[in-house]
Amino acid sequence: MGARAPAFWFAPAGWQASLLSPAALVYGRVAARRMERAPRRPATAPLICVGNFTLGGGGKTPAALALAEAARARGLRPGFLTRGHGGAARLPLLVDPDRHGAGLVGDEALLLAEAAPTAVSPDRAAGAILLRHAGCDLFLMDDGFQSAQLRADVALLVVDGARGLGNGRVFPAGPLRAPLEAQWPLADAILVVGEGEAGDAVARRAAAEGRPVHRARLAVLDAASLRGARCLAFAGIADPGKFHRSLAEAGAVVEARRDFPDHHPFGEADAGALLAEAEAKGLVPVTTAKDHVRLAGGGPRARALAEASRVLRVALRFGDAGAPDALIAAALRSFGAR
């Protein structure tokens, strides 16, 4: 089960962050040592790591999907590498959406597998072997920047424009996965998704570090189907505020909202309560694509909720249409020079 990021992570550091500073110091030292010293194995195909500085969602999966689309336009056969967060799989597995559910491979893996071959494995190198056997000639690693398992040809770090790096503290005092001084040297490029001063601040730091900065936004697909709809909005994602902003962009009227922890496994009680509330208030249940795939693999009430719900689908659009191709070209050059 996931957890909701505490609000103090995204506010100026206060007493909570100070109280957790000793634990953050220990966690940060371990994370930094792993990033700096662990041997990164070379992949057998060009590898783009789509990661972020912080815990939680920042748009990594939409960014990986956008890069896969650009790779196919170049005539490449991309494949996705992911740990399968929220799933129970512990051995390398090539995802089959017709056979595997979110409980086994995680919700993000199912979404990725709709677009390209997807390997789920805590051991990213073992997953890469599966993708190579599947005929993939470009690996897109969704997350895994801090794991130090594979050498990335391009490490693209995604930053949420509204949240940025939060209070700038390391977990658990803040959202950073490792101290910034350990992360910046391994970052090749930054992608800021959405608008906001917090994201602009990271962009300025990236420019000072000599890293290229790309910009993108999340565009709602098929917004007409949601325009004017009176909705019960429910989601189990890291930043539910992003979901609600996208609904507002689509013109939906959110009459009620129910936020759950990230990767929340919707049980029959959850689904039954949401269905009952939507029916009693005459509302249309609306959720995210990630939540929808978890519901579809659940029990009878969860599946009924999945059938009754409309799905807010989004796609990442780069500000510079040539940016994805440039990132892929850089990965191909780096791989060729190895």
290 marked as binding residue: no
**Annotated binding residue 287:** no
Model pLDDT, residue 131 = 98
Annotated binding-site residue? 55: yes
Are 47 and 191 in the same domain? Answer: yes
Shared domain check, 74 and 210: yes
- Domain range for residue 102? 27-217+317-337
CB 264 within 8 A of CB 240: no
204 assigned to some structural domain? yes
User: Is residue 228 annotated as involved in ligand binding?
Assistant: no
- Residue 161 included in any domain: yes
Residue 19 lies in a domain: no
Say yes or no: 200 and 139 in one domain: yes
E-strand ranges in the chain read 41-42, 47-51, 78-82, 93-94, 118-120, 138-142, 150-151, 154-160, 189-193, 213-221, 230-235, 253-259, 284-288, 310-318
Is 131 one of the annotated binding-site residues?
no
On whether the CB atoms of residues 165 and 159 are closer than 8 A, the answer is yes
58 is in an annotated binding site: yes
Is 195 inside a domain boundary? yes
* CATH number (domain holding residue 65): 3.40.50.300
Tally the domains of the chain: 2
Q: Are residues 295 and 322 in the same domain?
A: no
Q: Is residue 122 part of a domain?
A: yes
Whether 12 maps to a domain, the answer reads: no
pLDDT value of position 3:
65
Q: Are residues 321 and 246 in the same domain?
A: no
The tens place of each residue's pLDDT in the chain, 338 residues long, gives 456 789 999 999 999 999 999 999 999 999 999 999 988 999 999 999 999 999 987 899 999 999 999 999 999 999 999 998 888 988 999 999 999 999 999 999 999 999 999 999 999 999 999 999 999 999 999 999 998 789 999 999 999 999 999 999 999 999 999 999 999 999 999 999 999 999 999 999 999 999 999 999 999 998 999 999 999 999 999 889 889 999 999 999 999 999 999 989 999 999 999 999 999 999 999 999 999 999 998 999 999 999 999 999 999 999 999 999 999 999 999 999 98
Does 327 lie in the same domain as 273?
no
pTM score, whole prediction: 0.94
Q: Is residue 80 part of a domain?
A: yes
Residues 117 and 194 in one domain: yes
Q: Is 87 among the annotated ligand-binding positions?
A: no
Cα–Cα distance, 284 to 291 (Å, whole number): 16
For 62, 82, 83, 142, the CA distances from 97, given in Å and listed in that order, are: 18, 15, 16, 18
Shared domain check, 310 and 324: no
- pLDDT value of position 2: 53
Q: Choose among 167, 129, 124, 177: nearest CA to 149.
A: 124
Do 106 and 228 reside in the same domain of the chain?
A: no
In a domain, 31, yes or no: yes
Confidence at residue 1, expressed as pLDDT on a 0 to 100 scale: 43
Same domain, 45 and 116: yes
Do both 279 and 326 map to the same domain? no
Instruction: For residues 248 and 165, give the distance between their C-alpha atoms in angstroms, rounded to a whole number.
Output: 25
How many CB atoms within 10 Å of residue 322?
Answer: 10
Q: Which of 5, 334, 337, 2 is nearest to 169 (CA)?
A: 5
State residue 179's pLDDT score: 98
Residues 163, 253 share a domain:
no
